Amino acid sequence: MRKSRKPQSAVLTAPNIYDTLTTLIRILNNAIKPDSRPLNVESNVFKDKIRLDNESKQFFTHTKFSLIDKHFHAPDPTSDNIRFLNRCRFQLELILMQEKPELLSATVKPAYPLILQELGCSTYKRDLKEKPLNLSDKATLIAEQHSTLSKLGCVTDMNDNIVIDAFQTQLLHDTTASHSLIDALVEIQKRRESEKLEIEIACKKCESFVTTAELKAAYRQFEIPDDGEGIDNEVLIGLIRASLNPTTMESLRIIAKARNDVAINTLLEQPDSNTIGLDQDDPTMDLFYAQNPVGLTNIGNTCYVNSLLQYIYTIKELRETVLNMEAYVENTDAADWQGKVIDGQRLSRQQVIEAKDTVRELKDLFSQMEWSKTRAVVPSSRLVDLLRPTTASSTSINSVITASEGQPYEMQDVSEAMLLLMSRLNAAFVPLTPDNGGPPVDRFNSLFYIRAFKKGMEMDDVTGATKERRIPEDSSTLILNADEDVAMQELIDNYFYESRNADSRISSPLTSIDGIGGDASIVAERDIRVTELPPILQIYLNRTQYNRKDNSSYKSSATISIPKRLYMDQYLESNQEENAERFKRIKLWKMDRLESRRALERIQMKRKELASNKQTDNGLIDRKYNVETINTASSVDAPVVDTYSSGIEAESKEFPAFCDMTTTDIIVSESDLDEKEAEHLGKIVELNARLEGEVAGMTRAEYKLHAVFHHEGDINFGHYWVDILDDQSQPPRWFKYSDERVNEVGMAQEDDILDGKQGPTACFCVYVRSDADVVQTVWRSIST
């Protein structure tokens, strides 16, 4: 007896999406075969897995199937059709891989790791704080697609340098997306608590970039809809003027940064905008304005100018002379005005007038800094223009270049800006006449200039006899080469006694300290003697170095230890003449220390060469050296010339085998290098101890640290700030000036400013003579 079947349900259940995808993939896979059969749309499999409806008809039509007598016929198996069907099948496989990769019969590899490999990015540098990612894992890929770092084209474990590079690249190609990019970077910085990302954000804000939240809040305060989008600048300025008052100045600054419009920046320069009608609850008001310095607003890449202006504002004589400029400036309107000459350059009337404009703008700013009750005031764009040289290397009086409308200023070096500022001040003010009736001198030279000389020989044109003469070596700033990790005192020693030659030789009493260079002979090429020290000692740490191999410049990351006190007695000519034997020992020890430094450089160069050509054989490194090559390598990238009599002699003292060999093979072990390195380091420690003991009693010419300028970034961009000491408060306080933000640095963090704790950022230091009353850090003429 046949059992009766149950009737099929009239209501069909919808096909499962995953079953549909796997079925379609099999259909397309069979369609490329020569013996593929037509697909019956009435079959139970088709009805259960696909079903004939408008969507399925559209799919089969797109894939070139033909519906004939309720059967879908595959297209002819031509090469083009096969290629097309394979692409369609692969797209379906990708869709299925996103949800159910286990249903795929064929293995489809995730594309992301392969793309990284092809682009050379699979071995990127990772953030050590982050867990390494497995980019082959589907869940990881999905999470990365929705991460904040993906907005910058990065993944979570990429390090800060890659994140910054990706951020800068996107910003360069699409500045209209700057707000969202800044937002992403801020979010990443908050999660990582990264100081490097924080500095990058500060640098970009210096370039007029702000976050979306800051911009929206600023527009809302002026009741401007849609974040100012689509509103003409003239209309925008009208809306701003209607609501402009001291409580909205901070919002105006944010809008001015975002728009970078000259007309909007002009609104910031209204003379009374910083001094009237402030509410006690206004966040821009400085509640401690009588005790703290005022900040300076960055108007586009002007952090270097702001840092410089904050420093010179603390110099009492300069500040008071500028504020009372009418009594001291040149009278270019006088009929008998003859012009003036500075550093051998004769200035025209127009150049002096331009210099007086600089002083006038400076006076206006100083007045605001003195009387303002807000946390920050805005330097005028005219002042910034006047402090910008016509070329990156120019420091003399010349025509002014103004920033293009809508564009930030190009960042300059703070030392160049200082030289240009002093040139303009000297041009604007009447020089001083000495009491002894000598020639006039520039008004501020006595504040900064070190009077010094070095001895030279010249031949008499008549008799042919040689005689000694003094060659002036006056300088307003000591320029020290910061290319290695040393103390500042050692860099100053190198400045005054820098190198040697082999013409005249003096035996050093320390040549046998550690068995190195037992017969070394030396003579100082650069022996500068100081005749007069200024009240203010300026020191520029030159970090711009040149790589001859790559023919490129780079910024040195050397750590320089910055002392609280400097003693300059040992460089004075009067002290050297009174204690000739003592100073002879001091100079020789300094020469020996410098020699050991150069030897350490050569050892490091050898170590790099050996590492790049390493062939291990029983713990020895087999390496060929040519004497001529060694001589050249000894001087490459070394700012001071090799101070032994020749390169061969220098190498022979460190590695005796060089004495008897020319182009033969030389076997050098890494242990030999370690031993020689330890010997020279030990010698430097002993020499430093002897020098410290020898100059211990020389403390009359004492200088105390007043300011340290910092630069974070490379030689082309970055952010400047300055730390300045207020030693007239009790107890003394350090302030960090970073554009609008002026924060007190607790004495517990003083080590971050001193002793090299700031790493490679310190670039300009200012010391003040301890017995000189020349600076006053806080000067605000208002009562609380």
What 3-state class would DSSP assign to 524? strand
Cα 432 versus chain centre, distance: 40
pLDDT reported for residue 246: 60
- Using CA atoms, how far apart are residues 491 and 478, in angstroms rounded to an integer? 10
Q: Are residues 502 and 647 in the same domain?
A: yes
Split at pLDDT 50, 70, 90, the class of 11 is low
Q: Is residue 175 part of a domain?
A: yes
Provide the 10 A C-beta neighbour count for residue 27: 23
The pLDDT-based confidence of 115 (bands split at 50, 70, 90) is confident
Report the domain count for the chain: 3
Q: Which residues, including other chains, have CB under 8 Å from residue 348's CB and lie 6 or more apart?
A: 339
User: 159-173, 239-253, 601-615, 685-699: which range is least confident on average?
Assistant: 239-253
Mean pLDDT of 441-463: 84
Q: How far is residue 486 CA from its own chain's centroid?
A: 21
Does residue 314 register a pLDDT over 90? yes
Q: Is residue 581 part of a domain?
A: yes
Q: What is the pLDDT of residue 59?
A: 93
Pair 38, 177 in one domain: no
Mean pLDDT along residues 626-639: 38
Stated as kind and residue range, the H or E segment containing 688 is helix 670-694
Domain shared by 475 and 598, yes or no? yes
State whether 490 and 626 are in the same domain: yes
Q: Is residue 207 part of a domain?
A: no
**Could you tell me if residue 624 is inside a domain?**
yes
On whether both 59 and 117 belong to a single domain, the answer is: no
Burial 33-68 (b: 16+ CB within 10 A, else e): eeeeeebebeeeebeebbeeeeebeebbeebebeee
Largest CA distance in the chain: 146
Task: Summarize pLDDT for 661-714 with one digit per residue, the tens.
Answer: 333 334 456 778 888 889 899 999 999 899 888 888 888 999 999 999 998 877
Whether residue 163 is found in the same domain as residue 36: no
Report if residue 549 sits inside a domain: no
Percentage above 90 pLDDT, the chain: 22
Q: In what order do the strands lie in the sheet with 528-532?
A: 466-472, 451-459, 528-532
Token code pair at residue 302? 């002007």
Statement to judge: residues 74 and 135 lie in one domain: no
The pair of structure tokens assigned to 235 is: 């209309």
For helices 647-654 and 580-612, the axis angle rounded to 10 degrees is 80
Based on the fold, state whether residues 517 and 595 are members of the same structural domain: yes
Could you tell me if residue 442 is inside a domain? no
pLDDT above 70: residue 630? no
3-state secondary structure 606-628: HHHHHHHCCCEECCEEEEECCHH
Sign for the pseudo-dihedral over CA of 306, 395, 476, 587:
positive
Buried residues in 538-572 as b, exposed as e (16+ CB within 10 A): bbbbbbebeeeeeeeeebbebbbbbbeebbbbbbb
* pLDDT exceeds cutoff 60 at 355: yes
Residues 717-766 have pLDDT tens digits of 778 899 999 988 888 889 999 888 888 876 656 666 665 455 678 899 99
pLDDT tens, position by position, 259-306: 767 777 777 665 444 433 344 444 445 545 567 899 998 887 788 899
For every residue of 309-366, DSSP letters joined together read HHHHHTBHHHHHHHHTGGGTB--TTSTT---EEETTEEEPHHHHHHHHHHHHHHHHHH
Q: Residues 93, 121: one domain?
A: no
Q: What CATH number does residue 82 fall under?
A: 1.20.58.2190
Distance CA(348)–CA(174), nearest Å, equals 45
Q: How confident is the model at residue 773 (pLDDT cuts 50, 70, 90)?
A: very high
Which residues on adjacent β-strands are paired with residue 538?
766
Query: Do the bridges between strand 620-624 and strand 616-617 make them parallel or antiparallel, or are there none, so unpaired?
Result: antiparallel
Judgement on whether residues 66 and 154 belong to the same structural domain of the protein: no
- 343: exposed, middle or buried (C-beta count within 10 Å: 0-12, 13-18, 19+)? exposed
Question: Cβ-count burial of 105 within 10 angstroms (0-12 exposed, 13-18 middle, 19+ buried)?
Answer: exposed
Buried b (16+ CB within 10 A) or exposed e, 726-765: bbeeeeebbbbbbbbebebbeeeebebbbebebebbbbbb
Residue 518 token pair: 């037992």
CB of 533 within 8 A of CB of 769?
yes
Cα–Cα nearest to 655, from 684, 681, 676? 676
User: How high is the pLDDT of residue 518?
Assistant: 36
First to last CA, the chain: 111
Task: Note the helical H segments in 119-261.
Answer: 138-145, 160-173, 178-192, 195-206, 212-221, 233-243, 249-259
Determine which of 223-237, 348-362, 515-529 has the lowest per-residue pLDDT on average: 515-529
Q: What is the pTM of this model?
A: 0.61
Domain boundary among 694, 722, 744: 694
Which pLDDT belongs to residue 757?
Answer: 56
User: What pLDDT does 776 receive?
Assistant: 93
Query: Between residues 21 and 399, which one has the greater pLDDT?
Result: 21
Amino acid at 352: V
Query: Which domain, by its residues, includes 56?
Result: 17-103
Quick one: residue 226, left, alpha or beta (phi over 0 = left, psi -120 to 50 = alpha)?
left
pLDDT at position 34 over 60: yes
Give dist(CA 278, CA 373) in Å, integer.
Answer: 8
DSSP state of 298: -
3-state secondary structure of 230: coil
The span from the CA of 462 to the CA of 536, in Å, is 44
- 525 and 582 both lie in a single domain: yes
DSSP 252-293: HHHHHHHH--HHHHHHHT-TTTTTS---TT-TTB-TTTTTSP
The CA-atom distances, in angstroms, between 667 and each of 97, 615, 649, 655 are 59, 11, 19, 11
Least confident of 6-10, 369-373, 670-674: 6-10
Confidence of residue 544 (pLDDT cuts 50, 70, 90): confident
Domain boundary pick from 37, 69, 103: 103
Answer for the pair 513, 683: CB distance below 8 angstroms, yes or no: yes
Question: Does one domain contain both 98 and 128?
Answer: no
Domain end, chosen from 193, 220, 243, is at 193
Please give the residue that has the higher pLDDT: either 156 or 128. Answer: 156
Nearest to 472 by CA among 455, 460, 457, 459: 455
Helix or strand or coil: residue 4? coil
Tally DSSP H helices, then E strands, for the chain. Answer: 26, 27
In a domain, 458, yes or no: yes
Higher-pLDDT residue of 146, 593: 593
pLDDT for 158 beyond 80? yes
Q: Is residue 144 part of a domain?
A: yes
Q: What is the mean pLDDT of the chain?
A: 77
